[in-house]
Structure 1
Amino acid sequence: MTRDWYTWHDHYADPASALSHRLAELRTRIAAELDQAPPGPLRAVSLCAGQGRDLIPVLATHPRGGDVTARLVELDPRNADLARAAAAAAGLSGVEVVLADAARTDAYAGLAPADLVLVCGVFGNISDADVRAVVGHCASLCATGGVVFWTRHREEPDLVPTICDWFAEEGFEPVAVTTPAEQVGVGVHRFLGTPRPLPAGVSMFEFI
């Protein structure tokens, strides 16, 4: 049965839910990166952005929010509409919500490599091989010194340690890897390498 990614967001209504704890951790980590970001314009991309609950509220309240040009890519039109409305209500004219397949590299053309790359709610819904592929593509999506925020459940077999190894192979160093709730993992990795060109017309993953 295909999951309804619109009603999936209902879990956030329960502040005690694992997803709520994951969301709070992500917002804290995003804000921390904005705190120490160098002066000047910043760029952000979010894959499978949903309703933008991780990034938009942080940009709406952070002093650096207005410096960020962001592209949120989401396939469900209901989620995209809510994200677009939230950005507009917050006065975030630099936030663009694109209704498109987030797996396609073309969705990030012109904005990658970015300073903030969000891959949240993705790694737990694709094959291990596709997780490895996405980590590789993060070396194209992320600017030197930029960070990737990612999530993955910690159910057995726990892939989180392996994901960290894959990021290391691609030139990333860990900033934080936490478990804010039972069976929930949140990772932040900083890119120390030189971004590779983002290939056109490539599908990075497929939801299963």
Structure 2
Amino acid sequence: MRGRSYGVRGDGVVRVGEDAGWAFAVEYGDSTGADRLEEIASGRVDAVHYLPMSARPPARFHYAKNGVLTCSFGIGEEHRRWGAEPDLLLPELIAEEILHPDGSQNFPASRVHYMAYHERSLGVLERRFGLSLPRAVLGEARLPAYSVRGTPAMRTGPEPDHQQIKAWAAALGLTWNDAGGRVPSHVREAWNHIARQDPKETA
């Protein structure tokens, strides 16, 4: 999983842990997980990589097993799939009405639908692979962190636009536990998506 990027280009940090039978690594900045996914998945290992891409959607999903990139697609671009088994999740994507029965994209009709659509797509991945990262594990636990590239400078305080995005999301009926002043990646991605479509909505 890739987190938000701070520090200068070339810096990379990874936080690691274990939950629900999965070892996980949360990457920040210019990290290396995506480049090494097939290597990580060698030796009968399954590896899932999720890249939020909050600044430049779509978010991306990659799944590798036995050293082979098996299935990949962008969240919101599920009709464009690649890998050794590109149709691996096709039945689930159709069942969730993310794709039409013919495999074409069922595009969201509005910004509210876009956020729900994004969550449904992530739900497919969570259920299929048994993924779960509770806030207590990911956001509140003290996880070991390692520098994997450069000399990272991590920001740990509230995000500067947190209150603005929180108010925007609340108007859409979306709230979250924001004790740390952080914006969930899927909310920020929706915010950035709307900002590109209609800048007045986020001004």
Shared fold per TM-score greater than 0.5 = no
Which structure shows the higher helix fraction?
1
For this structure pair, what is the TM-score category when the shorter chain's length is used for normalisation? Answer: under 0.3
